[in-house]
């Protein structure tokens, strides 16, 4: 089985080319691939399959040739992965499955079609505008933090740390507790603190994340978009550019009236062959 390993700001993925949808990908195989000691290691798996060949992509096949079949490292599905989409497009371009075009390259996902373009050394992807729709709390250790529920195609809860608490000191080895009636399908939880002003932006936020299905990761693209939407709202803006610093680097989020662009590095680090029988 061919694979490539890639990452976007340290959010890392095992990429499996499967143009015709022939691979029998199971939750167990995904978890084994993502195992950092016994497998390749990753926060998730990106299966590269023709939209027409995937049951959840077929309806979008007239808009996008490729479907990003994203799985979390525990073997669960997610609707969308922002960093994954950027790395997916890097893979399409480097393998010649797509060519850089002036117009943005469409990719089908479970959350609809997103569009990507090369931007400097990185890849930017245009997603739906995040929707801040509710309030909720996250409990972590002895803290209960209020937050904003945000839909970015997948669910997020953005919680600002009170002044005086150190973001880097948070213990994210355990999942934050959230209200399952607000998030029946689970949620990705972002913890934030304000950053110093960055030229050319309307805001700068520091973020750590505990991802649904993957635990703490070094970065979450859709999480950064959720954080940017909340940061703009909190300063009375509807649109703007926000720099979001995650443990794995910096992402730039541009929110317009209708869409949201997520930009940053997307890197392929290795390719090879793996032995599925050794994984299971």
Ligand X SMILES: N[C@@H](CCC[C@H](N)C(=O)O)C(=O)O
Judge whether 238 is annotated as a binding position. no
Contact status, residue 105 vs residue 73, Cβ threshold 8 Å: no
- Which residue number, 84 or 130, has a Cβ lying nearer to ligand X? 84
- Which residue number, 52 or 225, has a Cβ lying nearer to ligand X? 225
- Residues near ligand X (CB under 6 A) are 11, 72, 78, 81-84, 154, 188, 211-214, 217, 220-222
Residue 79 Cβ, how far from ligand X at the closest point, in Å? 7
- Which residue number, 188 or 201, has a Cβ lying nearer to ligand X? 188
Residue 242 Cβ, how far from ligand X at the closest point, in Å? 15
Options 159, 220, 225, 260, the catalytic residue? 220
Q: Write out the two tokens for 33.
A: 């691939």
Contact status, residue 267 vs residue 5, Cβ threshold 8 Å: no
- Which residue number, 42 or 52, has a Cβ lying nearer to ligand X? 42
Judge whether 154 is annotated as a binding position. yes
Residue 164 Cβ, how far from ligand X at the closest point, in Å? 29
Based on the residue annotation, tell me whether 220 is a catalytic residue of this protein: yes
Residue 173 Cβ, how far from ligand X at the closest point, in Å? 17
Judge whether 41 is annotated as a binding position. no
Judge whether 211 is annotated as a binding position. yes
Pair type for strands 112-119 and 122-128:
antiparallel
Judge whether 83 is annotated as a binding position. yes
| Residues flagged as binding site for substrate | 11, 72, 82-83, 154, 188, 211-212, 221-222
Catalytic residues, which ones? 81, 220
């Amino acid at each position: 089985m061919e694979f490539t390993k890639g990452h976007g700001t340290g959010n890392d993925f095992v990429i499996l080319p499967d143009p015709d949808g022939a691979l029998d990908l199971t939750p167990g195989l995904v978890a084994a691939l993502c195992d950092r000691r016994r497998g390749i290691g990753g926060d998730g798996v990106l299966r590269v399959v023709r939209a027409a060949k995937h049951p959840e992509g077929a309806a979008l096949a007239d808009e996008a040739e490729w479907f990003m079949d994203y799985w979390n490292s525990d073997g669960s599905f997610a609707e969308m992965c922002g960093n994954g989409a950027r790395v997916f497009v890097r893979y399409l371009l480097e393998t010649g499955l797509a060519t850089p075009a002036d117009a943005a390259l469409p990719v089908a996902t479970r959350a609809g079609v997103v569009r990507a373009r090369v931007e400097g050394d990185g890849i930017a992807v245009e997603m739906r505008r995040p929707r801040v729709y509710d309030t909720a709390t996250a409990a972590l250790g002895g803290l209960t933090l209020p937050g904003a529920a945000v839909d970015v195609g997948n669910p997020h809860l953005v919680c600002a740390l009170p002044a005086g608490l150190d973001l880097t000191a948070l213990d994210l080895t355990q999942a934050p507790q959230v209200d399952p009636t607000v998030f029946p399908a689970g949620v990705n939880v972002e913890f934030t603190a304000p950053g110093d002003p960055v030229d050319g932006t309307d805001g700068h936020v520091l973020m750590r994340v505990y991802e649904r299905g993957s635990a703490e990761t070094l970065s979450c693209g859709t999480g950064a978009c959720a954080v940017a939407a909340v940061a703009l709202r909190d300063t009375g803006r509807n649109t703007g550019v926000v720099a979001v610093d995650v443990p794995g680097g910096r992402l730039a989020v541009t929110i317009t009236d209708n869409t949201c662009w997520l930009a940053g590095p997307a890197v392929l680090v290795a390719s090879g062959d793996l032995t599925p029988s050794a994984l299971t």
